[in-house]
Structure 1
């Protein structure tokens, strides 16, 4: 499902800890990310997270460099 403002999203597994997953997303603006986070389907997902994971953390990141190789 493509959402307005979502440039990319990716699910990764920690190479040293296979039970640890890292989800990253890139958005065109904070406003569109906020809209996404307030959507009913995301609220449903977030309500289930505590039952599915041992712990979670949200880290806002600033992209310094990168792109397709």
Structure 2
């Protein structure tokens, strides 16, 4: 099992737009084989700071997720709304930063 923590800092005032665009992404991702959990959190008092917290059965399941239409569509739709982003993949033996 691996965990993913995907940090996104939205452009000023765009956090709400990213949250809205994430609804389909979240619903479709939760249906994927190997997805144990997939949630989005918005920092209280800082609505442009977002964190996806995910749990996957394996790195292979996560890799398959990266190639789904819903992740590609979400990435394209939000590319101009993000100021920065960072993905941390937590394995039992190490942490990867993408």
Normalized against structure 1, the TM-score is what?
Answer: 0.74
Q: Which has the larger radius of gyration?
A: 1
Q: 1:60 aligns with which of 89, 94, 97?
A: 89
Give the drift of 1:21.
0.9
Normalized against structure 2, the TM-score is what?
Answer: 0.55
Query: Larger helix proportion, structure 1 or 2?
Result: 2
Query: Which 5+ residue runs of structure 1 have no aligned equivalent?
Result: 64-69
Query: Larger strand proportion, structure 1 or 2?
Result: 2
Which protein, 1 or 2, shows the higher relative CO under an 8 Å CA cutoff with sep ≥ 6? 2
Q: 1:11 aligns with which of 9, 15, 40?
A: 40
Query: Which 5+ residue runs of structure 2 have no aligned equivalent?
Result: 1-27, 93-98
